[in-house]
Amino acid sequence: MHPRGHARRILPGFHLSLGITVTALSCIVLIPLAALVAKSASTGVGTFVEIATSPRTLAALRLSFGAALLAAMVNAVFGLLIAWILVRYDFPGRRLVDAIVDLPFAMPTAVAGIALAAIYAPNGIVGAVLDPYGIRVAYTPLGVAVALVFIGLPFVVRSVQPVLEELESELEEAAALLGANRLRVIWTVLLPPLLPALITGFVLAFARGVGEYGSVIFIAGNVPLVSEIAPLLIVIRLEQFDYAGAAVVGVLMLVLSFVLILGLNLFHASFRRSIGNG
Amino acid sequence: MTVALSIENLRKHFGGFEALRGVSLNVEPGELVALLGPSGSGKTTLLRLVAGLEVEDAGRILFGDVEANNLTLRDRRIGFVFQHYALFRHLTVEDNIAYGLRARPRRERPSVAEIRSRVGTLLDLVQLGGLEKRFPAQLSGGQRQRVALARALAIEPRVLLLDEPFGALDAQVRKDLRRWLRDLHARTGHTTLFVTHDQDEALELADRVAILNQGAIEQVGTSDDVYERPETSFVCGFLGETNRLPVEFAGGQVFLGELPIYGMAHFNTPGPGSLYVRPHDLQVTEGGTGALSGIVLSVRRIADRRRASIAVPGMPAAIETDISSGFAPAVGERIGLRIMRALTFNEAR
């Protein structure tokens, strides 16, 4: 038996695997998110809008999304560079560098946060160098971005690396023999095929940055309206037993993240189609 | 005599491996020269040195009277076609072909309209008119290689270098493209150097064939020269199908064991040597003097010929011989073979 209008699949497994997927996705993702939305809705429209448009909420959201975006952009550039070096050059300690890239994945984020706070504080190793120039990193929005760069880096490197490995050096040779200078080779031959993977890495780093909590709170200083991130605001509301207030911020983050990531994925898909291997 | 490309005593090693041990070759304007050799013979290394993709250890390369060392990759103006096409996947056929023209510095760059018309001409030349908006992924292997060729021709190269251009294609397409490339070369007349390990391709296409072995050129000559008048035993054994018989030279005669089997040797130096005989230069006889005799192992058909393997006592391998269609020896039958034509070399190998 098979549904009318569908080609019969020779290899079995579609219905079973779809069933398992939907069940797992529901238990782990959809039901908790629905509960979150339900909780925030219980406050009523008036209160929802009031909490959503309060200066403190808006400042926290702006910081979380802004810093995550900035950090993801920085990571896109440096992550690409690191992936390039790891793939194209063989140097002593290459495997070591390769392993270090994954450390932000493995380390407890609080440890990273405390370490960053210690070296970027005005009396820390790096902070002491920057302080005379009036650059303050710890306890400012800049510090938030620094922490997010740290935890987002592996996403870009690991997304780009396999694609870069597939890219034959013959392409560069062909372009150079046709008369293209190095900059043109990078811009017209290397970057376009890497772009989909780069976008994937960017989205992952960005998504991680938006939700990041542990590593940020130590370096951010958490000054309301200045360096307080949205996830922290949620925790503060919870500690005040303001569950509805926490849920409202949570839903706002959810919706914003979803829209941004969906948008990037759609752009990604249309780009892949446009180069004929979608 | 003018020379379009001269290669003088080129050497190159990679680590402990000597890829080229002093290679010299002159290519005349408009000539199509094939570099033929087994894998590891250095033919691709030679091509990459001419292109400037590797740097030689010693020796020099001249384009006409311009020393290649002084030229950047752009100024060398080499049209290079890779075995695996190396097309830019994210660009259309049109943009691939125009790549070299658009990469020129602004003052030398043709106008947009001029580029379009050049691309159109090239597309017609490689018979791909109408496919300019396709992406490489939407083309067959043969079509992709023709795009790669058009892209290389677009920069009006001094020399066209083809690295196993048909190596990744299936047999029928290879044959078609071979003939097509021959015609194209006759029309456009680019000085061309191409690498192949397929001897049929080299012999059919090239004006001259250079045969490489272990980083050195063994012989350069026309297809007839290298096939019919090989200068070294390597060339003789490498081209076409041959039987190698370990023989002894004495008194100007060729002996296989005790038997004189073939008239006079080319030289008078006594000692061990090799005799090379092609399957079609053996004739089946009733036995008698000057003939080998052996047992038929198998008979099989190869296109328009029939080929028999004969086990001859004292031979390291079975002797391959062509047999006429009227004659059908049974497996196990004893037959005699007379050597009609052969080549002898006196080094023991």
Domain ranges of chain A: 45-277
- Do residues A60 and A232 make contact, with C-beta atoms less than 8 angstroms apart? yes
- Give A-chain residues touching B53 at CB under 8 angstroms: 173, 177
Instruction: Summarize the confidence of residues B207-226 as an average pLDDT.
Output: 93
Min Cα separation B78/chain A (Å)? 6
- Do residues B321 and B310 make contact, with C-beta atoms less than 8 angstroms apart? yes
Inter-chain CB proximity B137 and A178 less than 8 Å: no
Query: Using 50, 70 and 90 to split pLDDT, how confident is the model at B349?
Result: very low
pLDDT at residue number B348:
47
Residue B63, chain A, CB below 8 Å: the answer is: no
| CB half-sphere exposure, A246, CA atoms < 13 A | 14
Min Cα separation B317/chain A (Å)? 42
pLDDT at residue number B121:
92
pLDDT at residue number B96:
94
Q: Closest Cα partner for B282 from B301, B306, B246, B250? A: B306
Inter-chain CB proximity B84 and A170 less than 8 Å: yes
pLDDT at residue number A242:
85
Query: Using 50, 70 and 90 to split pLDDT, how confident is the model at B151?
Result: very high
Interatomic CA distance for residues A1 and A13, integer angstroms? 14
pLDDT at B220 over 90: yes
Inter-chain CB proximity B135 and A181 less than 8 Å: no
Instruction: Summarize the confidence of residues A136-142 as an average pLDDT.
Output: 82
Using CA of residue A165, residue A171, residue A173, residue A176, what is the dihedral sign?
A: negative
- Provide the 10 A C-beta neighbour count for residue B9: 13
User: Which of A171, A178, A192 comes nearest B100 by C-beta?
Assistant: A178
Q: CA torsion angle for B206, B197, B318, B336 (degrees, to 10)?
A: -10
Query: Using 50, 70 and 90 to split pLDDT, how confident is the model at A6?
Result: low
- Do residues A213 and A234 make contact, with C-beta atoms less than 8 angstroms apart? no
Min Cα separation B272/chain A (Å)? 48
CA B55 to centroid of chain Cα atoms: 24
In chain A, the residue whose alpha carbon lies closest to the alpha carbon of B160 is A177
pLDDT at residue number A20:
92
Interatomic CA distance for residues B341 and B240, integer angstroms? 15
Interatomic CA distance for residues B155 and A177, integer angstroms? 10
Min Cα separation B53/chain A (Å)? 7
Say whether A252 sits in a helix, a strand or coil.
Answer: helix
Interatomic CA distance for residues A99 and A86, integer angstroms? 11
**Domain A45-277, CATH:** 1.10.3720.10
Q: What is the ipTM of this complex?
A: 0.83
Interatomic CA distance for residues B222 and B205, integer angstroms? 11
Inter-chain CB proximity B99 and A178 less than 8 Å: yes
Alpha helices in chain B (DSSP H): 43-51, 73-76, 93-102, 112-125, 141-153, 171-188, 199-205, 223-228, 233-238
- Provide the 10 A C-beta neighbour count for residue A183: 8
Instruction: Tell me which range, A7-11, A93-97, A131-135, is most confidently predicted by mean pLDDT.
Output: A93-97
CA B249 to centroid of chain Cα atoms: 32
User: Which of A174, A192, A276 comes nearest B82 by C-beta?
Assistant: A174
Say whether B335 sits in a helix, a strand or coil.
Answer: strand
For residue B282, what are the β-bridge partners? B339
Interface of B with A in 93-152 (CB under 8 A): 99-100, 103-104, 134-138, 151-152
pLDDT at residue number A108:
87
Min Cα separation B5/chain A (Å)? 17
- Give A-chain residues touching B89 at CB under 8 angstroms: 193, 275-277
Which has the minimum average pLDDT: B135-144, B175-184, B278-287?
A: B278-287
Q: Closest Cα partner for B161 from B71, B57, B58, B45? A: B45
Tokens of A208: 């991680």
For the segment A52-90, what is each residue's pLDDT rounded down to a tens digit?
A: 888 888 888 898 999 999 999 999 999 999 999 999 888
User: Which of B89, B100, B134 comes nearest A179 by C-beta?
Assistant: B100
Best to test chain A binding among B47, B90, B96 (most A CBs inside 10 Å):
B90
In residues, how long is chain A?
278
Which H/E stretch holds residue A66? Answer: helix A55-88
- Do residues B194 and B162 make contact, with C-beta atoms less than 8 angstroms apart? yes
Interatomic CA distance for residues B61 and B5, integer angstroms? 7
In chain B, the residue whose alpha carbon lies closest to the alpha carbon of A171 is B86
Q: Closest Cα partner for B7 from B23, B28, B29? A: B23
Interatomic CA distance for residues A3 and A1, integer angstroms? 7
Interatomic CA distance for residues A205 and A177, integer angstroms? 37
**Residue B326 backbone zone (phi > 0: left; psi -120 to 50: alpha; other: beta):** alpha
- Give B-chain residues touching A170 at CB under 8 angstroms: 82, 84, 86
pLDDT at residue number B267:
60
For the segment B84-135, what is each residue's pLDDT rounded down to a tens digit?
A: 999 998 899 999 999 999 998 888 899 999 999 999 999 999 889 889 899 9
Interatomic CA distance for residues A33 and B275, integer angstroms? 85
Q: CA torsion angle for A54, A59, A64, A70 (degrees, to 10)?
A: 150
- Do residues B33 and B5 make contact, with C-beta atoms less than 8 angstroms apart? no
Q: In whole angstroms, how far apart are CA B226 and each of A274, A275, B194, B202, B211?
A: 51, 47, 17, 11, 8
Inter-chain CB proximity A174 and B73 less than 8 Å: no
User: Which residues touch A258 (CB under 8 Å, ≥6 apart)?
Assistant: none
Which has the minimum average pLDDT: B94-98, B172-176, B232-236, B250-254?
A: B250-254
Min Cα separation B305/chain A (Å)? 42
For residue B256, what are the β-bridge partners? B259
pLDDT at residue number B169:
84
Which has the minimum average pLDDT: A72-86, A155-169, A232-246, A262-276?
A: A262-276
Q: In whole angstroms, how far apart are CA B344 and each of A99, B130, B314?
A: 62, 56, 18
Rg (CA), chain B: 25
User: Which residues touch A190 (CB under 8 Å, ≥6 apart)?
Assistant: A167, A171, A172
- Give A-chain residues touching B154 at CB under 8 angstroms: 178
pLDDT at residue number A277:
46
